[in-house]
Amino acid sequence: MITTAVKLTSHEVRALLAAAMEVSIDKISDSARFVGDVGVSSINAIAALLALEENFQVEISDEEAENLMTFHDVETFLVERKLIVN
């Protein structure tokens, strides 16, 4: 797995997701579900996953994607792979 040279912070990842999902960063709390609580369309949720894959040069499987429902899920996924600093 190839990782980025500079690791992002959790706040920077939150900002990346907010931009990809076209929502205010304030709407992305740790436990709010992207589709549903935040009001993100499924298309924008997919765009966010693609942004993560591109930014971190990592492939997210369909099974993994199904489990990335909240920011906490995404953060845990990235921390476990040592892709962000916590």
Mean pLDDT, contiguous 10-residue spans, the chain (86 residues): 62 94 95 94 94 92 96 95 83
Letter for the amino acid at 23? V
pTM for this one? 0.87
Name the CA radius of gyration of the chain, rounded: 12
End-to-end CA distance of the chain: 20
Letter for the amino acid at 11? H
pLDDT of residue 6: 60
**Which residue segments constitute the domains of the chain, with CATH numbers given?**
8-85 (1.10.1200.10)
Nearest to 74 by CA among 42, 38, 29: 29
